[in-house]
Amino acid sequence: NLDGGGSTALWARGLYLNGPSDGAPRPVANALLVFGQAEPLQDAGPPATVTLNAGETAALSPPPDAAGGGILWGTVDGRGFVDQLGRLSATRAGTLAAASVMSARRHTVTCTVIPGPPARLRAVLGAAPNDPPDRSVVTATVTDRFGNPLPDVEVVFAPKGGTADPARARTDVRGQAAAEIVWDVETGRSVVVCTGGLSSAVVRGR
């Protein structure tokens, strides 16, 4: 997978050996292929499981009955990165699969990546449905430092020159919480949006 950009991938024996900087390989047509004879791979037992926080590194267990060197490590789907010592690092929350190959035996590890703590709060002020002049909708998004959305984080909406409904809300699976603002002034409209531990975001109305 050679696109000349950040998602160039190195693939061998069914594994991605590098970590594309876009987080996943792109479906492009350019490629450099090197063919050789290889034995069909067989599963080396049931998949193992590991859980880590985004940005952390976890040491993966070698395949069963492994001895000495000759182990090839990689990821199955190009998400995350495993070095050739079997150390997995990942920044995207979700589930990914890593694997090791040794002597035509492949051992898979299912990895669950959990978002890190809240690191960024963004807020956008937009029109309410049907665009009434005295109403707006403010949407807050909470993510970790890698951009993973964080659900179930409480957000507080404090408008100046109006009232928020609701005044407090918890983020959904997209890391978003929203409130409708009913303005009682025509100028100087603004909303302070805050959540614990992060700097407040301020958005200004029309």
| Neighbouring C-beta atoms of residue 36, cutoff 10 Å | 5
Rounded to 5 degrees, φ, ψ at 193 are: -115, 130
pTM of the model: 0.76
Number of alpha carbons in the 13 Å side-chain half-sphere of residue 102: 18
- Rounded to whole angstroms, the Cα distance separating 85 from 87 reads 6
Residue 167 identity: A
Residue 35 clears pLDDT 80, i.e. is over it = no
What domains appear along the chain, each with residue ranges and CATH number? 11-114 (2.60.40.1080), 120-204 (2.60.40.10)
- Is the pLDDT confidence value at 86 over 80? yes
Longest dimension (CA), the chain: 75
pLDDT of residue 26: 63
- DSSP-based helix, strand, coil % in the chain, nearest 5: 0, 45, 55
In the prediction, which pLDDT does 159 show?
95
- At 1, the pLDDT band (50, 70, 90 cuts) reads very low
pLDDT score of 38 more than 60: yes
Please answer whether residues 155 and 197 qualify as being in contact, where contact means their C-beta atoms are separated by less than 8 angstroms. no
Give the closest residue to 151 by CA, choosing from 112, 93, 90. 93
Given a contact cutoff of 8 angstroms between Cβ atoms, the answer to whether 60 and 51 are in contact is no
* Higher-pLDDT residue of 48, 23: 48
**SS3 for 135?**
strand
Average pLDDT, rounded, for the chain: 85
Stretch 51-57: mean pLDDT: 93
**Which pair of structure tokens corresponds to residue 111?**
């990895």
> What is the percent of the chain with per-residue pLDDT over 90, rounded to a whole number?
51
**pLDDT digits 0-9 by tens, 72-83:** 888 888 888 899
* Side chain identity at residue 38, one-letter code: A
